[in-house]
Structure 1
Amino acid sequence: MVDLSAITRPVGRLVATAQNGLEVLRYGGLETGAVPSPFQIVESVPMYRLRRYFPPDARPGAKPAGPPVLMVHPMMMSADMWDVTREDGAVGILHRAGVDPWVIDFGSPDKIEGGMQRNLADHVVALSDAVDTIKTVTGRDVHLAGYSQGGMFAYQTAAYRRAKDLASIIGFGSPVDTLAALPMNLPASLAPAAADFMADHVFSRIDIPGWLARTGFQMLDPIKTAQSRLEFLRQLHDREALLPREQQRRFLASEGWIAWSGPAISELLKQFIAHNRMMTGGFSIHGDLVTLSDISCPVLAVIGEVDDIGQPAAVRGIKRAAPDADVYEFLIRAGHFGLVVGSKAASQTWPAVAAWVRWLDEGGPMPEGVSPMALQASEPSESGVTLASRLAHGGAAATEMAFSLARSAADALVAANKSARTLAVETARTLPRLARLGQVNDHTRISLGRIMTEQAHEAPKGEALLFDGRVHTYEAVDRRINNVVRGLIEVGVRQGARVGVLMETRPSALVAIAALSRLGAVAVLMPPDADLATAARLGGVTEIITDPGNLAAARELESRILVLGGGESRDLHLEDFDGVAEVVDMEKIDPDVVELPGWYRPNPGLARDLAFIAFSSISGELVARQITNYRWALSAFGTASAANLSRSDTVYCLTPLHHQSGLLVSLGGAVVGGARIALSREVRPDRFLQEIRQYGVTVVSYTWAMLRDVIDDPGFSLTGNHPVRVFIGSGMPSGLWRRVVDVFAPANVVEFFATTDGQAVLANVAGAKVGSKGRPLPGGGDIALAAYDAEDNLILEDERGFVRRAEANEVGVLLARPRGPVDPLASVKRGVFAPADTWVSTEYLFRRDEDGDYWLVDNRAAVVHTERGPVFAGTVNDAVGRLGAVDMAVTYGVPHGDGCLAVTALALRPGGTIPSADLSEALADLAVGCPPDIVHVVADMTLTATYRPLAGPLQRQGVPKPSRNAWYLDPDSDRYKRLTVAVRSEIVESAQ
């Protein structure tokens, strides 16, 4: 006979799993039918609610309540932790043992008016008031019991009250000597400085939401967390097996965690970690100085042998901190949470606590397992829970997981071991920057001038600026900036004025830009190779700061000219400028005699304020781009984080400061990272290596093809070691990128893409995918790709009328959710993905690959529309750039009848050649779009002052001439063939 159970049993198990899983997904867990223990709200005030569990029967003859125990939860956990399960929870067990359980509930501070402004002192005073209430209601002294930080509250309250009306204190894993053994064996030598910094600069600004508290707690015991989740999933079919532990699982997984106010965290870090004042005394409770030596009631410290949060050495500090108290301990082999919740807590902890309370109340023999705590040395030999102990405890719980995950875990362990120290250093350096950036809002005071001031304050003698073989300290640079500010005030420049900066990349240019920022004026960065009159008009400049080298060009403009740089000894021959705009030699102004006006406040710039105006060219037209302080800060902090910049770095600022990359990436990243800034007069192959080694350059900035002149110079030869670890910039051609990485191995390239308004910023931090723009920069705003039809130049919508998001490798328009002021020239769109939402279109086309990396396809206005379909310049240039012989490539459209021909021009490396077969192969399978109609080699390309190749001069030449290095796409074979006179004539004639 067929055994039907062999078929029905797996099916039934599968159905049960599905049913239970659906219930978990819908309701967060399984319905247990359990009801909470009964309690009465005895007192309710804004700071807390006081619960009395199992309130006694008031009728005559009823059994009187036992000794009261007031239980205190830590700030990040719900007060319901004492009643996770009625049968095995703390209040239920204590009640059955004849104890009167009370619980103070501080509530969830993020749901209470003023809750997120609470500090530690508020909790201590509230707990003291609750003790008074219980004493009044019961007439008996109170046993004060607290878990983790709740136990610290209990100790602090006892000291604050000088043990008045307290029968005893019971602490569960509550550290007192916090520096004796920090969680995860963190070094105590680093804790004070780190805690002080976090208190002053992080948690004075932010709070911890409940979900983050839960995540952090679980990460402290990841093996136990993972084992519990795996066990739950494996038994999801067996409802009866899961129900006894379901309330505890739900509590730990979601329901038991509440927010933690920033002021309370800050005070905890400063008073009890940075200064360890529970041991030394002198901590402040609303102005009163308190010490634990005032505790005189008995103390029971419940200690977990494998507790990695309240480590035994830290918990046992209470013996030294409270010398007048009788201190006992109860040791249990459990982790931090296992001390108070779970099977061991039900079978060991709470029976011992009940016995302790009865012993003190009734006398008799000391409870089993409770023993007097031995006095430890002030510097205990134990450094905390040993690694062997943690592994043994975790191994017992994780044995089943270990066998199935052993191989992958071993690989991860090896990788983690290699990178742990690097990760720790990078995290410590990066998180404060991202945290600060995340807190920036419209009204935050942040600017280049302010950051320069901060660096000068933190490291006045630190090396800030290198130029012409000399070093200038932060103190000296800051003094020079302040002197220039006084000079600007003397000549009448005020906050908000728009001042043109026409200077080469020199220390005086950096100082001028920083001085305008400190004054609160707007620096209009004028490119020397642009139409200066147009730039002055678009920037609305009232005066121009220039250096002696650009004085002649500046005097052609109808603006007052301020000359800065060159020192006091140079002679500008100002008499030659009679009849032209006023010229003022700023170096002749004595800053010491300038009186600062009442309106002047240094660094007044808010994040929303306009800080700079830069320029770019669109279709040959000069366009002014507004840059706010927030936009500058986003790129500066993002660069410092992405490139991991620190005071040990030297940034070689090759990029002109008038270029957005030089201002936002090179200068901004270096200033925020505290790195030294090395300025070079120009990019010269004979000076490049010499200055890199002389200055100890670790980071080289670039724009577009700037490094081409160095790498491809016949005289360039890199021998021996070099200090460079990374190149940072934007626009580097893919072929040049490969050559740079090959020559300067193991250095890598961090390529940035940023819109001028700063709404969208991408960075290829890993540098593994040559040509990719990477991913959104941490700390930046939200971005999205809107599906795009290049044929009709339309953003596509779904059936509901909202914009459709582009799929992987589909061309899309890059959109950014605006943060801060929106550029007046920006294309703003509303109701994009949801009703009334707002996005800014960057007008750049991207594709996102399967890994989530972004690739620039083209500018929306520059797409070449041919008879065969759209041709995207970025995609074509990347494809041909993979050919080793190609130096640079530009793709552009040439009018052809009613349409366009797509033409790609190539500049080859010295001695390079391209077979037509290689060209056909490179362009045969483009990621998106069509290949060009014609490809030709040019002797050289016209570059802008920022080394960007220009298509305009080539475009004006029309259809390329026939040559051995010109090819056309044969429509019959889809292969590239030599462009002959006959073929070109046919192409030209077909357009007529």
Structure 2
Amino acid sequence: MLLQSLLLAGLVILPLLLRLFFPYFWTDVLYLKDLFKILLKFASRRRRRPLFLALDRFLERTAEHPHKPFVVFENKTYSYEDTDRESNKIANALRTHSALKEGDTAAIFMGNEPAFIFTWLALSKIGCASALLNNNIRSQSLLHCFKCCGAKLMIITADLQAAVEEILVPLCEDEVCVFVMGMECGSVHMQSLSEKVEQASDTPIPHSLRANVSFKDPAVYIYTSGTTGLPKAAVINHTRLLAALAVLAANGVTNRDVIYVNLPLYHTAAFLIGFIGSVETGSTVILKRKFSASQFWNDCRKHNVTVIQYIGETMRYLCNTPKRADDKEHNVRLAIGNGLRADIWREFLSRFGKIVVREFYASTEGNVGFVNYTGKIGAIGRINFLHKKMLPYALIKYDTELDEPIRDVNGRCIEVLKGETGLLVSKITEIASFEGYARNLEQTEKKRLRNVFQEGDVYFNSGDLMKIDHDNFIYFQDRLGDTFRWKGENVATTEVLDIVTQVDFIKEANVYGVEVPGHEGKIGMVAVTVKNGAVFDGIEMFNHVTRCLPTYAQPHFLRIQNAVEVTSTFKQLKMKLMREGFNPTAVSGPLYFLSDREQSYVPMTMIIYDAIISGTIRL
């Protein structure tokens, strides 16, 4: 009897003790259970023959519920069957009118619209990889992005013909075929794909056309600015795409959910999570051309949206909209994304209701990720033994001045203690692979960190500084290198520098990001020196940067110096410039502001400065 009483008491007390000393115990157990199930499914699919790819999951879903809405765009709805047929027509048109074959790459240069999804599916059906070009890039950046992935063909929407016409001469020299999703072409060097699609059959595409595709082959190229130079094409192979199927399902999304996708499809978040994730769950996607804070919740109500995607900046925009009585009247139950600041997180929940927020960490080319499955505000994830065993990672000491890891007397890296900030590195293995960047061995090698903890090991250098607290939550701290983030986009300073220094009167330039109160990330600023005998021309500079750079990468502030300051190893000094920012009282020498109204870089005044700080002038 005594033993039974003690056992009964233990059963009563144990849950209380667990809650007191291990408050996340059951949450961890449930997460690990789901993680294990995902791994089993992934392993099972990897063993299937013929190879089971993300495309095959779409075909399964189409067979299971052909008439279910898959993509809703503006006033038109496409079922799974409609999507399948549209992609078949595009694939058959390409088979007839292009030289594309299995293993080739084609570039998709489009904004958010159903044709983007149809085209990707079509290319996959004929065994081709897709390069997802940012539809904001222009000129030499556009040409570079097209060439660096070895694409043979470009498929564009009608509204982007002018952008392609700027680079038509070198494209024609390389005998590149440009197809337009439209009935009219602005150049004789372009062809109407829509015309050919109208005449094409919608018969299914034989599996034999992609029979030789392997898991290691590129599925898509997604572009990342990284820390140096022009955008780099990160290679996403079919294994990575197969793993991406699980992201939404792992967060409880089902075929009953309606997912609102307003981030650009050329981005990892919208493509891999919003689109590919929905293929796995069999959900309906509400596709938006672009994010609109004023229309966001009306769209959610209109379409009975249950799952939304975000980046930190979009949540701030939503919180900045005028408050309404119906702010909490919606069906959204889950928000999934990254970059959400703790204060905005709290404000979002307070204003828009009890929405489960799943903050995660991942990078386009990276081989490790974290998920905050507990809802701990401010954290990007939670670490556990199984996760680290499968995907070995560490936070190591890093010298930000020398821009290199700190090593011990044996030349090995040193892990930081809990509570300390360190550089996230993750071991490159067969499971956690790093495919690198297309045709860019130099930048690929720069992301590999060798002999980290033992001779011969190789780790992926994330470039991100993080911290793990004593409760095993991990927090993003900062980003190394010359990249800064503005409007949800990574901006490589050297890419901007290359554009700025093309102007005749500019001798040298130093590009960096500066903080603006009330805004996420950092906005672009440049310090320049003017050539001897030359005069700074604000109109010419404005015309050049707005023509050659997307809006988010354009330097909004410009200061003129007598000389660009460098270190003894000729690295440009940025910290002092970043601290001084764009305040006219802190900056010595001429200071300018990029004015859309004046179509010029105009002298910066305290009136303009105060208007920016107060939000009267919107950036």
Question: One fold, TM greater than 0.5?
Answer: yes
Provide the residue aligned with 2:119 in structure 1.
512
Matched letter for residue 90 of structure 2: V
**Equivalent of 1:536, from 146, 151, 163?**
146
Q: More relative contact order in 1 or in 2 (CA 8 Å, sep 6+)?
A: 2
- Say how many residue pairs are matched: 506
**Equivalent of 2:74, from 434, 446, 468?**
468
Matches within 5 A, 1:603-622: 605-617=213-225, 618-619=227-228, 621-622=230-231
Distance verdict in 2 for CA 1:956–1:732, change over 3 Å: farther
Gaps of 5+ in 2: 498-509, 520-544, 562-574, 592-619
In structure 1, what is the Cα distance between the partners aligned to 2:383 and 2:33?
Answer: 22
Distance verdict in 2 for CA 1:595–1:812, change over 3 Å: closer
**Equivalent of 2:242, from 633, 641, 652?**
633
Provide the residue aligned with 2:469 in structure 1.
849
In structure 2, what is the Cα distance between the partners aligned to 1:755 and 1:721?
Answer: 33
Deviations 1:670-728 (A, max 9, x none): 22222221112332344322221222111111234234444323476634521111222
Matches within 5 A, 1:263-274: none
Provide the residue aligned with 1:486 in structure 2.
92
In structure 1, what is the Cα distance between the partners aligned to 2:418 and 2:290?
Answer: 42
**Equivalent of 2:179, from 562, 582, 596?**
562
Deviations 1:148-193 (A, max 9, x none): xxxxxxxxxxxxxxxxxxxxxxxxxxxxxxxxxxxxxxxxxxxxxx
In structure 1, what is the Cα distance between the partners aligned to 2:348 and 2:85?
Answer: 38
**Equivalent of 1:501, from 105, 108, 112?**
108
Could you tell me whether the CA contact under 8 Å between 1:443 and 1:607 is conserved in 2?
A: no
In structure 2, what is the Cα distance between the partners aligned to 1:479 and 1:588?
Answer: 11
Distance verdict in 2 for CA 1:804–1:746, change over 3 Å: same
Distance verdict in 2 for CA 1:412–1:809, change over 3 Å: closer
Could you tell me whether the CA contact under 8 Å between 1:686 and 1:716 is conserved in 2?
A: no
Distance verdict in 2 for CA 1:446–1:401, change over 3 Å: same
In structure 1, what is the Cα distance between the partners aligned to 2:53 and 2:558?
Answer: 43
In structure 1, what is the Cα distance between the partners aligned to 2:196 and 2:453?
Answer: 56
**Equivalent of 1:832, from 423, 429, 452?**
452
- CA drift at 1:610: 0.5
Matches within 5 A, 1:780-791: 781-791=391-401
- CA drift at 1:599: 5.0
- CA drift at 1:613: 1.0
- CA drift at 1:455: 1.6
In structure 1, what is the Cα distance between the partners aligned to 2:14 and 2:322?
Answer: 49
Deviations 1:369-420 (A, max 9, x none): xxxxxxxxxxxxxxxxxxxxxxxxxx98553244456334368799xxxx99
Q: Secondary structure at the match of 2:209?
A: coil
- CA drift at 1:757: 2.2
Q: Secondary structure at the match of 1:906?
A: coil
Measured on the aligned residues, the alpha-carbon RMSD in Å equals 4.6
**Equivalent of 2:268, from 660, 682, 706?**
660
In structure 2, what is the Cα distance between the partners aligned to 1:433 and 1:605?
Answer: 24
In structure 2, what is the Cα distance between the partners aligned to 1:855 and 1:695?
Answer: 34
Distance verdict in 2 for CA 1:541–1:704, change over 3 Å: farther
- CA drift at 1:533: 1.8
Provide the residue aligned with 2:57 in structure 1.
451
Matches within 5 A, 1:277-296: none
Larger Rg: 1
In structure 2, what is the Cα distance between the partners aligned to 1:862 and 1:442?
Answer: 42
Give the alignment's TM-score, normalised by structure 1.
0.45
Work out whether 1:905 is the aligned partner of 2:515.
yes
Matches within 5 A, 1:663-674: 663-674=271-282
Distance verdict in 2 for CA 1:821–1:487, change over 3 Å: farther
Deviations 1:809-854 (A, max 9, x none): 3232221222345315143234322343332222322222222222
Distance verdict in 2 for CA 1:698–1:809, change over 3 Å: same
Distance verdict in 2 for CA 1:684–1:638, change over 3 Å: closer
**Equivalent of 1:525, from 125, 132, 140?**
132
Matched letter for residue 627 of structure 1: I
In structure 2, what is the Cα distance between the partners aligned to 1:705 and 1:613?
Answer: 25
Provide the residue aligned with 2:417 in structure 1.
807
Matched letter for residue 953 of structure 1: P
- CA drift at 1:957: 3.6
In structure 2, what is the Cα distance between the partners aligned to 1:833 and 1:427?
Answer: 27
Provide the residue aligned with 1:701 in structure 2.
309
In structure 1, what is the Cα distance between the partners aligned to 2:452 and 2:79?
Answer: 50
Matches within 5 A, 1:570-969: 572-574=183-185, 576-578=186-188, 580-585=189-194, 587-592=196-201, 600-601=209-210, 605-617=213-225, 618-619=227-228, 621-641=230-250, 643-714=251-322, 718-719=326-327, 721-770=329-378, 772=380, 774-775=382-383, 781-818=391-428, 819-820=432-433, 822-823=435-436, 824=441, 825-826=444-445, 827-862=447-482, 904-908=514-518, 953-954=555-556, 956-957=558-559
Could you tell me whether the CA contact under 8 Å between 1:754 and 1:760 is conserved in 2?
A: yes
In structure 2, what is the Cα distance between the partners aligned to 1:402 and 1:803?
Answer: 50
Could you tell me whether the CA contact under 8 Å between 1:477 and 1:511 is conserved in 2?
A: yes
Provide the residue aligned with 1:547 in structure 2.
157
Gaps of 5+ in 1: 1-394, 567-571, 864-872, 878-886, 910-941, 960-968, 971-975
Deviations 1:343-363 (A, max 9, x none): xxxxxxxxxxxxxxxxxxxxx
Matched letter for residue 488 of structure 1: L
Could you tell me whether the CA contact under 8 Å between 2:294 and 2:321 is conserved in 1?
A: no
In structure 1, what is the Cα distance between the partners aligned to 2:208 and 2:13?
Answer: 68
- CA drift at 1:768: 1.8
Distance verdict in 2 for CA 1:708–1:658, change over 3 Å: same
